[in-house]
Amino acid sequence: MPFRATILTLYPDMFPGHLGHSLAGKAIERGQWSLETVQIREFADDRHRTVDDTPAGGGAGMVLKPDILAKAIDSVAADPRPRLLMSPRGRPLTQKRVRELADGDGVVIVCGRFEGVDQRVIDARGLEEVSVGDYILSGGEPAALTLLDAVVRILPGVMGNDASGTHESFETGLLEHPHYTRPQEFEGRTIPPVLTSGNHAAIDKWRQAEAQKLTAERRPDLLAKRTADV
């Protein structure tokens, strides 16, 4: 069964977005994954199709109403797929979680808007809050596209060479080593000789050392975690 993504959103026209192109676009054409959207506003029951209200206790902005969002979620057939809520307060998305999602049947993603989502529907519908970074977006749609991009590209058969997805940043707990290609010389800079030596053991050793060096310089937190996990 192909990977199935269902998106609950106020802006269904934002999908599939860039996922309709390149590897993900070709994969959806081949039936390797599918994408459907659910318009949350369709479940509002007043003539203005109201989906939000002022926050209890006061404050700026508006909050997505729990009754309307619950109806939208309940319209999706019950199945084992995890229900995700894209939220800046969620657990950070990691490559490990991406692989777990890719190994499953698909995802149901709720895209928040305004100041957030009423906590009661998060609790009542068991939504897993997921963050794509320590910054604020205008809504959950760009975050959902990012999550799906990360997942779809590693689905079986999507990349021409499945091994491509196993030697990248975060897959081994390290950032990826530098890459080079022809021409041999570019503006006075040459390809490191070891990479053209034909000595695969030496190349692997160089790449590992460079990955360690880059990670120590740019993401020492990853290196510390990797050491702690060993």
Mean pLDDT split into 10-residue runs, the chain, 230 residues: 97 98 97 98 95 95 97 96 97 97 98 94 98 96 98 94 59 91 97 97 97 96 80
Residue 64: predicted pLDDT: 96
Query: What single-letter DSSP state applies at residue 217?
Result: H
Q: What is residue 52's three-state secondary structure? A: strand
The rounded distance, in Å, linking the Cα atoms of 195 and 65 is 57
Q: What is residue 222's three-state secondary structure? A: helix
**Burial class of 56 by CB neighbour count within 10 A (0 to 12, 13 to 18, 19+):** exposed
Question: Tokens for 53?
Answer: 């209200």
DSSP annotation string for 58-108: --SS-EE-HHHHHHHHHTSPP-S--EEEEEEEEEEP-HHHHHHHHTSSEEE
Residue 68: predicted pLDDT: 97
Q: Measured in Å, how far apart are the chain's first and last C-alpha atoms? A: 36
Name all domains of the chain by residue range, CATH numbers in brackets: 3-152 (3.40.1280.10), 167-229 (1.10.1270.20)
Residue 91: predicted pLDDT: 97
